[in-house]
Amino acid sequence: MHALLQLSGCLLLLPIPIRAAVWQVGPGLTYTSPSQVATLVGNGDTVDIVAGVYPSDVAAWTADDLLLRGVGGLAHLESNGLAWGQKAIWVIQGDRTTVEWIEFSECSVPDQNGAGIRQEGLDLTVRHCYFHDNENGILAGEVHPSTMVIEHSEFGYNGYGDGYSHNLYIGNIDSLIFRFNFSHHANVGHELKSRAHVNMIEYNRLSNEADGMASREIDLPNGGQAYLIGNVIQQGPAGQNSNMVGYGLEGLINPGPHRLYAVHNTLVNEKTVGTFFDMPTSILFKAYNNVLAGGGSFMSTWPFGPDTLANVRNTNISALGFSDAANFDYHIDVTSPAHGVGYPAGVAISGYPLGAWCEYVHPMDSVIRCQHATLDAGAFETCTTTAIAERTGDGMRLFPNPAQDRLDVSFASGSDPDEVGILDTQGRVLRVWPVQGSPALSLDVRDLPNGALLLRTKGADGSRTCTFLKL
């Protein structure tokens, strides 16, 4: 008995893991608004907010590692001109916060920069959110070391109208990853302004359309490293600024090297004047496989020693053969002068691959871009892609192997793929296996827990049809 008591005492001294709490917010629940739980949550907690409108509700979040999400649709924080601390609808002061399925609107403050989110902590992830009719959509100051990831979100009609507030205004943080988003109709300000040291802006649509009065579509005023890949960038006739993409125009104060890479973008300027790019002469500028359609010039003043290749420039927008330019659909077909003229851009000096692995799908989505020997210029490839499906479909089934290091794949009769590949979460092809008529394969997927499985079927004309299944 004595030994048992000693053992029990030892067990009681062991640390007991504390489970993160899940807080429920919504009509008829204990907590009916997000602000009621903002001061109660602890590190690592989740706040589930039932879809609906939460008028005049603003809050500050100070705990770390929070997941704040709408459930069943968008939870709409309709601020009615209110702001927490005269800053924003949500002021996020904790680190590593994730925000999903939240709508932020109508924030205003006396100094005219009220935001949907004011980011004051380190590392923020925003997915599937909607920011509109605020003085800023997201406003972030200078915090280090910090990375912001913004995906599958919409920004529209933000800005006070003074040119100093924008759909997004990101300060001198370490890195911004901005992908699969739709930013449009900023009120006089920019569709995206970022002072981040490294900007990865990929597979977005940034446009002010026919009636928008935004300034630049992308403004990166302090230089650093910037990667613009696979974006659709459009300036309407009422745009406030004649140049569409600005880089380093307020001083190259970010850590160097100062390099701008623009690869596989489609840029359309509906004004008769302006420039597609504007930057100092001292930076390295590499531009491959871009389509530049409409008025104005490629560059106001060319930087020293630019590296440009396989860009398609035409002042006549209709000459590019876009599917429906009037409705901002810039897909092309084989008759377009952008078809088949691309050239591989290689890798950046940093080692980052300069290929377009995805395509933007409106609104706020993407598909994997077809990969084949002959590249098209612009944001869209002419071969066929399909959206990512879940585990079964398109003549293929996936069976995780109990050994957890292999994936068994079987093919339905008639599917006849000739290659199977593994892509990572960025859409990069990591490994390819030939099928060669096999009805099934067992694939080694060790160290590849995420991403997608790719089937490529080669047609008689050499084209490839691609289908994808999410792992």
Peptide bond into 257 cis (omega under 30): yes
> What's the pLDDT band for 383 if we cut at 50, 70, 90?
confident
List, for residues 115-140, the tens digit of each pLDDT value.
999 999 999 999 999 999 999 999 99
List, for residues 61-86, the tens digit of each pLDDT value.
999 999 999 999 999 999 999 999 99
List, for residues 387-404, the tens digit of each pLDDT value.
333 233 334 444 444 334
467 vs 52, residue with greater confidence: 52
Length of the chain: 471
HSE at residue 185, side-chain half, CA atoms within 13 A, is: 11
> What's the pLDDT band for 358 if we cut at 50, 70, 90?
confident
What CATH class does 389-470 carry?
A: mainly beta
List, for residues 96-113, the tens digit of each pLDDT value.
999 999 999 999 999 999
Query: Taking 90 as the threshold, does the pLDDT of residue 304 lie above it?
Result: no
Give the 3-state secondary structure of residue 2: helix
Q: What does the DSSP assignment read for 382-440?
A: SS-----EESEETTEEEEE-TTSSEEEEEE-TT---SEEEEE-TT--EEEEEE-TT-SE
Structure confidence at residue 436 (pLDDT): 60
Number of helices and strands (H, E) in the chain?
A: 2, 42
- How far apart CA 310 and CA 297 sit, in angstroms, is 16
Structure confidence at residue 367 (pLDDT): 80
Give the 3-state secondary structure of residue 84: strand
- How far apart CA 443 and CA 432 sit, in angstroms, is 10
The amino acid sitting at 433 is: W
Query: Taking 70 as the threshold, does the pLDDT of residue 308 lie above it?
Result: yes
Residue intervals of the chain classified under CATH 2.60.40 are 389-470
